[in-house]
């Protein structure tokens, strides 16, 4: 794909915190190494491999010989769905102490996700039959479950990133307030207007706690499945502020474009709409680098 030299330099050093490379029970177009290799086209500095089903840090360690030949650093994490035992502090502890960087609270096992995808939570259909169980972080009184608190303690101790997953907005609010009380300052809300449906007022409250809003270029790529108008993304950035915003790809699915191609199209569209170059740089480089502790 032809690209403008200015755009290539702006994206150089990009950190993608949301890449759906494989292995995975969902069909993927490449594995973590191949995703990192393709990222060289825009000088990608680092990426986080996300799976809804398993601890990806073990994938990263298993691929370390191949990854040693790739410029970008690949990190793993864990999503707290039923396939890892839900709110399983033991699984979180292993992932983070083996080098994982991100803990996503329930995504496909969340009640909110199941409301949006009642077909057993599958989007798309898995390549092997799997069972899925709903996981909630609060009890019948609306209070945070003790096991969720244990996981927050581990995230704090390991300086990892807390992601609200696909949960109901009020559950994310409860979780992030508890995280703030523990001194956690690396919090992320992924795609607040996709699946989650977080109101702007609550987004501002979460940002006030120190959270970042992560928006996915996947939703704004004209060759992707959603094809939202990039002006919608620009409105979010202007409202919340680039200092509280992270851009990520959320791509890697077998039927979707490669993340790099989406990055080029959407970043170019934002610049054409008048987004300052320094703001783009902040959202794709500085903010995610800070979250992952790359410049510490």
What's the domain count of the chain?
Answer: 1
Percent of the chain with pLDDT over 90: 92
Q: Model-level pTM?
A: 0.96
DSSP annotation of 244: G
Q: What CATH number is associated with residue 209?
A: 3.20.20.140
Taking the CB of residue 32, how many other CB atoms lie within 10 A of it? 28
What pLDDT was estimated at residue 125?
Answer: 83
Mean pLDDT over residues 13-36, rounded? 97
Preceding amide of 2 cis, omega within 30: no
For residues 4 and 138, what is the distance between their CA atoms, to the nearest angstrom? 48
202-254: pLDDT as tens digits: 999 999 999 999 999 999 999 999 999 999 999 999 999 999 999 999 999 99
The reported pLDDT for the residue numbered 120 is 57
- Tokens at residue 96, please? 């983070």
Q: Where residue 118 falls among pLDDT bands split at 50, 70, 90?
A: confident
CB 48 within 8 A of CB 292: yes
pLDDT band at 1 (very low <50, low <70, confident <90, very high): very low
| Residue 124: pLDDT over 90 | no
Q: What secondary structure letter does DSSP report for 163? A: E
Rounded to an integer, the average pLDDT of 40-53 is: 97
What digits encode the pLDDT tens for the residues 265-280? Answer: 999 999 999 999 999 9
- Give the relative orientation of helices 200-208 and 230-240 as an angle to the nearest 10 degrees: 50
- At 296 the pLDDT is 61
pLDDT at 8: 83
Distance between CA atoms of residues 255 and 49, nearest Å: 18
Q: Which helix or strand (DSSP H or E) is residue 176 part of?
A: helix 169-181
In whole angstroms, what is the distance from residue 99 CA to residue 57 CA?
A: 7
Q: What percent of the chain has pLDDT over 70?
A: 96
In 3D space, the residue among 195, 194, 212 whose CA is nearest the CA of residue 203 turns out to be 212
Domain carrying residue 183? 5-292
CA-wise closest residue to 249 among 65, 72, 58, 53: 72
Intra-chain end-to-end CA distance of the chain, in Å: 35
């Amino acid at each position: 794909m032809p690209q403008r030299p200015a755009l290539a330099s702006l994206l150089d050093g990009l950190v993608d915190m949301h890449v759906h490379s494989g292995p995975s029970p969902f069909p993927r177009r490449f594995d973590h190494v191949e995703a990192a290799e393709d990222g060289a086209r825009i000088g990608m500095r680092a990426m986080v491999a996300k799976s809804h089903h398993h601890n990806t840090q073990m994938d990263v360690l298993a691929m370390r010989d191949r990854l040693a030949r790739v410029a970008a650093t690949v990190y793993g994490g864990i999503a707290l769905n039923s396939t890892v035992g839900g709110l399983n502090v033991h699984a979180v502890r292993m992932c983070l102490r083996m080098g994982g960087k991100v803990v996503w609270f329930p995504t496909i096992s969340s009640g909110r996700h199941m409301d949006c995808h009642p077909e057993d939570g599958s989007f798309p259909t898995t390549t092997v039959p799997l069972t899925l169980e709903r996981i909630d972080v609060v009890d019948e009184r609306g209070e945070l479950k003790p096991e969720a608190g244990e996981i927050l303690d581990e995230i704090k101790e390991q300086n990892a990133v807390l992601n609200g997953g696909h949960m109901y907005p009020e559950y994310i609010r409860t979780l992030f307030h508890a995280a703030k009380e523990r001194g956690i300052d690396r919090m992320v809300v992924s795609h607040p207007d996709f699946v989650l449906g977080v109101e702007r007022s609550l987004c501002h409250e979460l940002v006030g706690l120190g959270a970042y809003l992560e928006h996915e270029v996947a939703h704004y790529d004209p060759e992707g499945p959603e094809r939202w108008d990039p002006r919608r993304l620009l409105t979010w950035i202007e409202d919340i502020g680039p200092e509280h915003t992270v851009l990520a790809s959320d791509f890697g699915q077998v039927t979707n474009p490669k993340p790099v191609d989406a990055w080029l199209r959407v970043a170019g569209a934002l610049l054409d709409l008048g987004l300052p170059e320094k703001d783009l740089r902040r959202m794709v480089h500085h903010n995610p680098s800070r979250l992952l502790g790359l410049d510490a």
